[in-house]
């Protein structure tokens, strides 16, 4: 079976980008091993005032150190760090954006969680998603999988017992589908979101939501449907982050034939104004994204 290394070579990626992707993907092994010893919460809060799990800080420090030492990354922005980190001595000019441990509040329940990464060229982290050179996420479930795009479609790899990623599926396409997952509490949803959920439920859609964005999205990628975290009354930007969660996963969705929107615009067209910007998110199959747009348009 094709290895990650062989795939990257055949995809014609720049050598430094191949090395960087492989380096990030390798971190899944130490991260998996650390889950058992890092169950607790840390004493710290992140910039959003959220209590950090021990794995949030541990995985953030691991990936930041490895990428800093690689000489390949000029700038790195992490959901878990207040400031953008810069590495002026780097020989390559990649800028990395990441959520090192998405869904960390679920670690103690042993549900699947993941690491989300976007890679830009040019050393600047504040770029529209459409300009990504690569996006990936590692999902720590029954298997460790790597879902990757280098702008030439989406591939899914699984890590074998020797730590080698082997291709499970290439040219992944999001089918039209009827699964949906939504964050936020019903009383807090804005009216357009409530109207959308009423519409999908009337169409017979089925609810599947764990509270781990990366895992919930992966299910949508495989089976079709939509993941939503809407604008809430009193929280018009919702909960999730444009740079760390929307942009990399949205780029993967688009490469698989799906899309991402906040209900009004394609989030891949939006240039982040600042690293920790939040945004409502609707990401998934085209049938569902069309319904989001129609519903938002109607209830304007
Ligand atoms: P944690 O990393 O704090 O678990 O947050 C996860 C997350 O950002 C995203 O992965 C989930 O989809 C969303 O929050 C879940 O939020 P709700 O608990 O409000 O549904």
45 backbone φψ class: left, alpha, beta (φ>0; ψ -120 to 50): beta
Distance from the alpha carbon of residue 203 to the mean position of ligand 1, in angstroms: 26
Helix (H) or strand (E) holding 222: helix 213-223
pTM over 0.95: yes
For atom 1 of ligand 1, which residue has the closest CA?
103
183 Cα: distance to centroid of ligand 1 (angstroms): 8
Q: How far is the CA of 159 from the centre of ligand 1 (A)?
A: 25
Candidate from 46, 101, 105 with most ligand 1 atoms within 8 A of CB, to mutate:
105
In which band, very low, low, confident or very high, does the pLDDT at 50 lie, cut at 50, 70 and 90?
Answer: confident
Q: 124: CA distance to ligand 1 center in Å?
A: 27
Question: For ligand 1, is residue 188 a contact (CB within 6 Å)?
Answer: no
DSSP state of 83: S
**Between 54-70 and 15-26, two packed helices, what is the crossing angle to 10 degrees?**
150
Quote the mean pLDDT of the chain. Answer: 96
Which helix (H) or strand (E) segment holds residue 158: the answer is strand 154-159
pLDDT tens figures, 147-194: 999 999 999 999 999 999 999 999 999 999 999 999 999 999 999 999
* Measured CA angle at 246 (ends 156, 238), to 5 deg: 140
Write out the DSSP string of 226-281. Answer: EEEE--BTTBTT-SSBIIIIIHHHHHHHHHTT-EEESSSSBGGGPPPSSTT-B--E
Establish whether residue 79 lines the binding site of ligand 1, counting it when its CB lies within 6 angstroms of any ligand atom: no
CB atoms within 10 A of CB 235: 14
CA dist., res. 96 & res. 61, Å (int): 14
Give distance in angstroms: CA of 65 to centre of ligand 1.
Answer: 25
Residue identified by tokens 């085209």 is 286
Strand partners, 261: 266, 282
pLDDT of residue 42: 73
**Residue 3 corresponds to which tokens in the numbers above?**
């290895």
Bridge-based pairing of strands 51-53 and 73-78 is unpaired
């Amino acid at each position: 079976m094709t290895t990650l290394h062989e795939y990257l070579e055949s995809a014609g990626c720049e050598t430094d980008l191949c090395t960087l992707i492989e380096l990030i993907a390798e971190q899944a092994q130490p991260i998996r091993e650390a889950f058992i010893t890092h169950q607790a919460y840390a004493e710290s809060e992140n910039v959003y005032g959220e209590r950090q799990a021990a794995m949030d800080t541990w995985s953030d420090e691991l990936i930041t150190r490895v990428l800093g030492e690689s000489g390949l990354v000029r700038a790195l922005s992490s959901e878990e760090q207040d400031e953008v980190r810069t590495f002026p001595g780097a020989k390559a000019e990649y800028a990395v954006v990441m959520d090192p441990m998405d869904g960390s509040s679920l670690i103690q329940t042993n549900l699947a969680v993941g690491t989300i990464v976007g890679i830009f060229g040019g050393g600047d982290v504040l770029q529209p998603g459409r300009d990504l050179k690569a996006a990936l996420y590692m999902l720590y479930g029954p298997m460790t999988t790597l879902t990757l795009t280098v702008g030439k479609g989406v591939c899914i790899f699984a890590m074998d017992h020797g730590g080698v990623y082997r291709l499970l599926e290439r040219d992944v396409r999001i089918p039209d589908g009827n699964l949906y997952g939504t964050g936020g509490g019903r009383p807090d949803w804005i009216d357009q979101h409530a109207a959308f959920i009423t519409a999908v439920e009337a169409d017979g859609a089925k609810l599947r939501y764990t509270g781990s964005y990366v895992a919930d999205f992966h299910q949508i990628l495989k089976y079709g449907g939509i993941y939503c975290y809407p604008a809430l009354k009193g929280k018009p930007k919702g909960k999730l982050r444009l740079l760390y969660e929307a942009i990399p996963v949205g780029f993967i969705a688009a490469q698989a034939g799906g899309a991402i929107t906040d209900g009004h615009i394609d989030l891949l067209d939006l240039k982040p104004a600042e690293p920790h910007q939040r945004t409502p998110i609707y990401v998934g199959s085209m049938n569902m994204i069309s319904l989001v747009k129609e519903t938002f348009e109607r209830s304007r």
